[in-house]
Chain A
Amino acid sequence: MKGTHYLVILVVVLALLGGYLVYPRPPELALMRYKNKQYTAARAEYERLLEQGISSANVVVPLSELYLVYGEMNRAVELMERFVESNPDNLEARIYLGKLYQQTQRPHDYLHNLEKRAQVQPSEEALRSLSQLYNAEGRIDRQIEVLKRILQDYDAKPRDYKDLAYLLAAQGDMVGATEVLRRLERVHPAAFDDRAREFLVSLSLDLGRYDEAIGYLQGYADRGGRWTIYYERALAGAARYTELYAFWDRQLARPDLDPGRKIEISYRYENTLRAQGEGERRVAFLLRELRRKDLDAEQRRGVGERYEAALRENGLTATLLEYLGQQVGRSDIGVEERKAFTYRYEALLREEKRWPELYAFWHLQMARSELSDREKLEISYRYEAALRKAGKHEELVAVLRQRYRQLRLSRKEKRALAYSALQLEDKVLAERIYEDLARGEPPDSVYVSQLLYIWGPRPGPYGLQWLEERVHGSRGEQRLAWLQHLLDVGATERVLKLGQRDLVQLGYSGDPVEFQMDVLQREEDYPQLRQILAKAIAEAQDAEQLRRHIRRADQVGFTDLAIEAARRLLSVAPDDPEILRRLGLLAYREERWEDAYELLSRYLENNQGDFESNYFLAELLTRRNRNLRAAPHYRRVVQLLDGEEQMDMRRASVRAQSLYRLGESDNAILAYQELLERYPDNLDLRADYVTVLLESGRIERADALLAGGGEGGA
């Protein structure tokens, strides 16, 4: 073999060897296809390798990516999960799996994988991610664990400390939270900001670590707002009251502090003093506050009330009285405020039962020129009430008279005062008030009535003159009403003097005699009236006069005078039906049968008449046996009585008798029977009934009735 041959063989061997060496192995072939976007072929290649048991990262990772290309997300994930399970320490694979979880939207798996990753190879980055994920999931306990690890093992950031502190506090571990914050202050002093400080202070206070809180508040207490409150709470909690008072004193002395803030401090200051039983100090403090120049009126009032309360609670009554007395006397305050002080001053005097002082106070108040009438009136009322309660009658009368004399009162107040005066039997004051009230009032005014009541039925000359003046000063209806008042009090003479026309308008006759009789009648002076009336009848000239006299005689029961007047009238007006009827009935009753017959006949000749006149005439005709003429009158009687709603015994009896006269015996008996049932003890009725029974032939029943038995039936 030639050298050439060897050379050829060598080249061939080298070529074969080279070809073998550069020929891609299956994983490389798959990768080439993958890189060349020949996904289907690449996938088949990788899957074949996997089936052959080649499950290295070089196979698994691209294959899972290929699965994603085809949207087979679960397959991609499962493949990687299996790989990671077989290679638990392969951090890169776990990181890739985490990315897969994110890309396939499996947040819980991602978190779980991250937890595993942090176990396999803890890192600050992984823990920090875990912390945030736990936060997002609301798993506080886990986040706390992670943050603690970060603080322990890594260069934790201020945010980590703060987050941990908040979380621990939210879990109730306030001690742990304070420790974390203190550590933050040590490690990152620049990041220990106001909020962190405030948080630490708040926690310290809630833990009762007041001194610690005070330490953290150095330089902050003066800032106001919550800082000041924290500082005060801390000092109070630590029972460092001397410092606390000193702090407040400093605050209150600050010219730059808003008065409103100072008031708030002052409240807290006072409350603390009270709680600590520092009564005297509290009073002194409030007095000092009260003297502050920068208070406005409202604030001063508030402090003053607190001062009063302090004095009261500490039993410093004398000082309180003195203080209130001073306030009442102030002229630089408004009405309402003065009133309020006055009430409290009075109340205190009352509580202390210092009545003379109280009366003297009121007396003095009534004399104060700067007080308005309203204020004085209220005082006067209270004064009155107190005196009334104490039964001080004379002083009371004096107070009421003083009230009327000194104050401008409304009509209502005057009326009330007059009523009080009447109760106290101070008629003088009452009369003055009512006269005052009645002035200018109309005659029907209640005040005029009251005045007339006080004056009584026969007022003195002053009263009569007062009324006469009202008559003079008025016209029309009012004048008449005033005249009526005069008449009512018996001032007839005065009234007559005032004129006849007025009398007519008052409804009296213009005739002085008539007027005189009216007055006498009203006054019920009957003897005098009878005398004048008899004379008037005798002298009467016309029918109208006589009619009036008849009416008056009827009204007062002078029957004889009425008859006399009627007779005179009959001579003047012989056909007057009313007079005919009246005299006819009268004659019948007086059994002057002829007169009665004549008068009633004339009367019923032209009039229907009433049941009585018809009955009487019918009876007179029956007596004369003129039954036929009597019958229409009886019928008329029955007709009239049947039309009446109310049927008394007399009417019923007349009706029964009329029926009997008309021959209606059964109806008459029935009527009597009913009557007797209603009036069983009326003997006249029983007699009439018996007569009817006898005359109608009902002897047995009449006998039974006479024997005192009852009705036995028809």
Chain B
Amino acid sequence: MSIGYRLVWLPFWLWVAVLLPVSLLHAQPLARIVLALYDGDSASDIRATAVHRLAEMPLNHLGLVVRYHDINSPLPSLKEMEDVRGVLVWEAAGMEDPREFIRWSEMLMDSGRQMVMISGFGSGEEISGGRYKEEINGFWKRLGLHSESDWVPFTYRTEIVYRDPRLVDFERRVGGVLPGYERMRVIKGRGYSGLSVRQRGDRPSGTSDLVVVTDSGGWIASDYAYYHNEATDTLLWYVNPFEFFSRALKLDDLPRPDTTTLAGRRIFFSHIDGDGWNNFTEIHPYRHRGILSAEVVKRKIIEAYPDLPVTVAPIAGDLDSAWHGSEKSMQVAREIFALPQVEAGVHTYSHPFDWGFFADGDQDRERPFLGLYAKPWGEPESLLKVESGGHDYYRETGFEVPRAYAVKPFDLELETRGAIEFVNSLLPPGKRVQIYQWSGDTNPFPEAIAAVRSSGVRNINGGDSRLDRKYPSYGWVSPLGRMVEGELQVYASNSNENIYTDQWSEQFFGYRHLIRTLKNTETPLRIKPMGIYYHMYSGEKLSSLNAVLANLEFARSQPIIPVTTSHYAAIVEGFYSTRIERAGELRWRIGNRQALQTVRFDRALFLAVDMVRSRGVVGQHHYQGSLYVALDSAVPEAVVVLRRREESAVEPSASLSYLVESAWQVWGVRHGSGRMWFETAGFGEGEMLWKVPRAGSYVINMHGGSGATESLTVVVPDDGRLRFAIRARTPMERVRVEVEYRQERI
């Protein structure tokens, strides 16, 4: 074999030896799971855990998915944790015998996964005199900390000797009466402390580090993560959870799948639960005329905002005349659903208040309550003794009865598929129920979520986020949803008016405060889309009606992209399924993302999308220090390639046209010589802003569903910003757009 012949094979062998292993390595998806260990003995529902209440939202924002595991069950093997980036243990390590956990944790850290502990293995006497001291100290050492096995119970002599404002003093400055703490120090060279304290008079060696990031994870001393005052219902983070988790879990390399943004704009969606459908309104001039609240909502809200989609979800029992409905209530439903911007949803059949009550399928459990229902499904055998809402069940749950209506025994099939089919029967041709809106405590059991999913619709509700003057903390902002036994419950992105009116009991104007939450969840971080979620009973009172209208006006005044509620739920589902692979330096493959079409890069002022090398990227938008990359829904696996840039004050230059922001969804983007084609659809007017390579005249041809073509010419100034709007049409009518560069501007 001649040398020349052998050289022919050189590239192949080079590929086998070098590039193949590298490419295989890169084929590994970036781990996005945080395994949260919780103590199932003290918190049977993950909703009650600190991780779910406080940590999961920041983790979601950072692009991570939380998977819960009861620390009392056997810990998962490494093989079962291939997709796990790190473990978070918060208020769960106070176990009787921690040795198994410690062995497992050390194995985990040795495998390169991060371990984040908030609070320790106990407090007070448990620390200084506790058993397994050696093992516990070994654990801390592996994490990068040295434990003195000592607890400082009283802190009046304690002074703060170092605080890093990037990590602590986030929503509240650490101070006042400091909580007791375990004496712990970062091992030199292993980590960094953002909060250090010392007893007055102690030597520097007596310093304790209380908020720590190490090479293997992080630690926050018990009670130093956040402040809580039960009496005033005040909760405020001491620690900046975004910064802390980002550092402790080493997230700099992870693009964040983003559920707040689409086509460069903040997502808007709105949904209505059917409660109060049949209530007669008290608003003049409809008062005393037998006008239903639902009719008022239809006339005053839905019809008044044809540019804003809304999902309407009646309670089937409110419409079904065999239950508590009437022909009139059904007629109102038909009229509402006939409106083109209305998406059909359903808000159960019988409106369970307490979903857990029905989880075991024992219908007889409801018998004691039958006397409290208007149309009970059976003869009340023994009436529950009710003394003005004072029975045990009420005291325990806050509910008089487990559900609103009990015309039939609880039947999960009727409650889910039955309700969907009932509402489907009221819909105009071409429309189907798209989403199921949870009722009551919004705490459905896994079988209920599964039943909804198997009915082919998405689900939403729960969460009750607030971020306003009354609840001025990210601690009151909920995560994206709740994953329970493999079933996903998508949370609404904001609280509804029921919360703002103290269970619809007072300050009926209160829902106006939603605007504060909408603003605060937009700036300085966009952590939630704009969700306006209310009930049909808002049509009952002028105060509440005005409040909803004020919120909608605010939404209209903002640069938003309106979508249906089921679309938002699909985006959240996409968040959980998205698979990200690193394909090289500043290069990622984003796949399996379903409806999620935005990835975000934080601290990205000096980064921009390399549009030429990327695939399936529609556009980019720098906002509040982050780079929002709009992906093309027509490309199942997008490749995002970034480049570094020198300047941060202006939009990145465009060698290839890209979308900056749009009120409509944009997909199927193709580029040609001096031309560009894409498809688009949305609600209201489709205003959009593109960045194009050259100034000059651009002709925009639009082909809508009617077949007619409309054209307009736009002159693009030197900044390369091509701004135009597509006139409003039937919601979500698909429009094909061709943008053609005609001439250079003189």
Contact = CB atoms under 8 A, between A and B. Distances in A.
Interface of A: 37-40, 68-71, 73, 102-103, 105-107, 132-133, 135-136, 138, 140, 166-167, 169-170, 172, 174, 177, 195, 198-199, 202-203, 206, 224-226
Given A37-B287, A133-B232, A136-B234, A198 B153 contact: yes
A174 B154 CA distance: 12
B411 interface: no
Contact of B156 (A38, A138, A177): A177
Contacts of B246: none
Given A107-B469, A170-B177, A71 B550 contact: yes
Interface stretch (B67-75, B340-348, B507-515, B650-658): B507-515
Contacts of A73: 509, 512
4 smallest beta-carbon distances between A and B, as pairs: A169-B156, A105-B469, A132-B231, A136-B234
Contact of A225 (B125, B512, B513): B125
A645 B468 CA distance: 101
B421 interface: no
A568 B225 CA distance: 114
A37 B283 contact: yes
Contacts of A70: 542, 546
B155 interface: yes
Contacts of B506: 103
Contact of A202 (B154, B229, B232, B283): B154
Contacts of A166: 156, 177
Contacts of A138: 172-173, 175-176
B154 A132 contact: no
Contacts of B470: 102, 105, 107
Interface of B: 125, 128-129, 153-157, 172-173, 175-178, 229, 231-232, 234, 282-284, 287, 468-470, 506-510, 512-513, 516, 542-543, 546-547, 550
Contacts of B543: 68-69, 71
A39 B232 CA distance: 34
A103 to B, nearest CB: 5
Contacts of A102: 470
B226 to A, nearest CB: 13
Contacts of B231: 132, 135
Contact of A71 (B125, B177, B229, B509): B509
Nearest to A201: B154
A125 to B, nearest CB: 12
B46 to A, nearest CB: 28
Nearest to A131: B231
A166 B179 CA distance: 11
A202 B284 CA distance: 68
Contacts of B507: 68, 103
B544 to A, nearest CB: 9
Contact of B128 (A37, A199, A225): A225
Nearest to A223: B125
Nearest to B509: A68
Given A68-B543, A138-B173, A167-B177, A132 B513 contact: no
Contacts of A203: 154, 156
Contacts of A132: 229, 231-232
Given A136-B234, A206-B157, 9 more contacts: A69-B542, A69-B546, A135-B176, A138-B172, A166-B156, A170-B178, A177-B156, A224-B129, A225-B125
Contacts of B155: 170
A102 B512 CA distance: 14
Contacts of A198: 153-154
B512 A71 contact: yes
Nearest to A166: B177
23 contacts: A39-B284, A40-B284, A68-B543, A70-B546, A71-B543, A71-B547, A71-B550, A73-B509, A73-B512, A103-B506, A105-B469, A107-B469, A107-B470, A132-B231, A138-B173, A138-B175, A140-B176, A167-B177, A169-B156, A170-B156, A172-B156, A224-B129, A226-B128
A102 B153 CA distance: 36
B454 to A, nearest CB: 43
Contacts of A202: 153-154
A103 B501 CA distance: 9
Nearest to A174: B156
Contacts of A225: 125, 128-129
Nearest to B281: A37
A169 B154 contact: yes
B177 to A, nearest CB: 5
A136 B176 contact: no
B153 A226 contact: yes
Contacts of B542: 37, 39, 69-70
A105 B471 CA distance: 10
Contact of A106 (B125, B284, B469, B508): B469
Contacts of B128: 225-226
B229 A135 contact: yes
Nearest to A70: B546
Contacts of B177: 140, 166-167, 169-170
Contacts of B469: 105-107
A170 B176 contact: yes
Contacts of B229: 132, 135-136
Given A138-B172, A225-B125, A105 B513 contact: yes
Contacts of A195: 153
B430 to A, nearest CB: 38
A225 B284 CA distance: 72
Given A39-B284, A69-B509, A166-B156, A105 B232 contact: no
A133 B231 CA distance: 9
Nearest to B510: A103
A85 B688 CA distance: 52
Contacts of A106: 469
Nearest to A258: B129
A102 B506 CA distance: 12
Contacts of B509: 68-69, 71, 73
A199 B152 CA distance: 11
A136 B177 CA distance: 12
A171 B385 CA distance: 53
A99 B509 CA distance: 14
A38 B284 contact: yes
A272 to B, nearest CB: 21
Q: Which of B129, B156, B232 has the most CB of A within 10 A?
A: B156
Residue among A37, A38, A225 having the largest count of chain B Cβ atoms under 10 Å:
A37
A132 B229 CA distance: 8
A464 B676 CA distance: 107
A170 B174 CA distance: 13
B283 to A, nearest CB: 7
B173 to A, nearest CB: 7
Contact of B516 (A105, A167, A172, A224): A105
A135 B229 CA distance: 8
Contact of A37 (B175, B284, B547, B550): B284
A148 to B, nearest CB: 16
B232 A199 contact: no
A648 B232 CA distance: 113
Contacts of B287: 37
A462 B283 CA distance: 134
B384 to A, nearest CB: 35
A63 to B, nearest CB: 14
Nearest to B125: A225
A38 B287 CA distance: 9
B219 to A, nearest CB: 23
Contacts of B154: 169, 198-199, 202-203
B232 A136 contact: yes
Nearest to B512: A71
Nearest to B513: A105
B233 to A, nearest CB: 9
B282 A37 contact: yes
Contacts of A38: 284
A38 B284 CA distance: 7
Contacts of B546: 69-71
A201 to B, nearest CB: 10
